[in-house]
Structure 1
Amino acid sequence: MKGFNKIQCVDGQWTDLPMCIEVESTCGDIPELHYGSVVESSVPPYHHGDSVEFNCKEEFTMIGHKSITCISGMWTPLPQCIATDKLEKCNYSLTRQEANLLSKTVFDHNEKISYKCRGTIKQKHSTCINGRWDPELNCTEVTTQSCPPPPQIPNAQNMATTVNYQDGEKVSVVCQDNYILQDAEEIVCKDGRWQSIPRCVEKLACPQPPRIEHGTIKSCEFSEEIEESLKPKLYPHGSKLNYTCEDGFRISEKDEITCQMGKWSSLPRCVGEDSMQTKILVSIFKTIH
């Protein structure tokens, strides 16, 4: 999602809608879970939103979420498999001045409690997870400031809203066509102010890519060689081109280059085939014949 996750009715009109933009990046191999295994797995590539579920070996207990999800090319954190007889207990650490006292002060893993802070009628709940309370036991009220509607960033898509945001909430920014985000992709509400405000900078085109020895540029779109003189003088940001080598030569690295803000990524090289390998092939050919 890019833009606001909240809209508001103002004078009979809704404030600006967010946009849902497809995430193209994929995740790598499923990470290994110590003392655990994958329940069921699909075949790679793993796209944005794909999930994988784990379970633990016998006599081990899972701590954390049982599944991980591919988000923008990265897997969310793995759970842990902890030996069941090694799970830690939790201590009830609140004092009489902070909250009501419970019948006991030490609790086992996965044991739940309810407590009430002094001066309040609302009950709070928490669970012991391997020596830690989730959520943490707390009777200190923290007052946070809300943020005003997010600022309009130059050259970004219009973000008109009257909605205030609470501390910690985020808004994703998307730039106008021919502009690209520099710095963070989100602005964050913190202590009543918007933090990490990025800039939308103009996408810079790249000049004609240089020649490489014993190689030519191949059109990525049409997969056919074309004369360099017929190519445009400038290539838009994000353009991709491929090199191909003459007979008897091979690409030493990745054959593709990409235009990034006016500069091409590192060029490949065309290197000669191993002469020894050629001699061995000739020898084998003579032996056969």
Structure 2
Amino acid sequence: MLLLVSALLSGWVSWAHGQGKTCDFPEIQHGNIYEENRYKQTLAVATGTYFYYSCDHSFASPSHSLWTRISCTEEGWSPTPKCLRQCFFPWVENGHSTASGQTHQEGDTVQIICDEGYSLPNNQSGIRCANSGWSTPPVCSPVYSERKCGPPPSVRHAAITTIPFETYAPGSSVEYQCQSNYELQGNRRITCRDGEWSEPPKCSDACVISEEIMKKHNLQFKWSSKKKNYSKTSDTVEFDCQAGYRRASPRALFRIRCREGKLTYPTCV
């Protein structure tokens, strides 16, 4: 069996009877004939002769075989020997593509969607796998324009952390900071792009826990370590009944979450 495999990989079959058309010895870019040094001095190859070839790293034959057989025919080498570039597509900087994490073959085109305010060079919609690799790196770059922005939008319960100006150059950015007891939601930094500011953040109201309401509902904090009378949005507050009182509300309502400055108090009787 080993002798048979060796004979096949050597790629040299006995010459066909009679002299028909011949093929030039194949020269394969980014590939090699099996035992090429043994045969490369041959100027002409008779019809019926076959070889096996393999491709260099990052290249593959159309059949994607480790060794691909080609035969000399009257029309030339069949199939035509070639090694095609294999391009790995990573993630897209400042954009996205369904092709991320996949390997593509020479000639394939990958579509890319850039984030708002970014684009590929020359506003292309995709990049192509070429013999030398990707035609353009998968990077979406900022789109700059001559249009400036006015003052940044005001955000309730927030202020920008720098001195405001009347106008801002394209690409400028500012940051917001919420007032004490308010929680910032969204991106604290906004950027001027094409005369428009990106979406500003919001400052969510804190829940002020009323001692008067707690007394009216006969409540106390479940944990004696809790001292503050406010909670940020999404924080959880746990209540318990004061001594001598029992729950009149379902147990689940004694552990409540602050939602946009609002709390629903349970009751003890």
The TM tier, using the shorter chain, reads: 0.3 to 0.5
Q: Which has the larger radius of gyration?
A: 2
| TM-score normalised by length of structure 1 | 0.32
TM-score by length of structure 2 reads 0.34
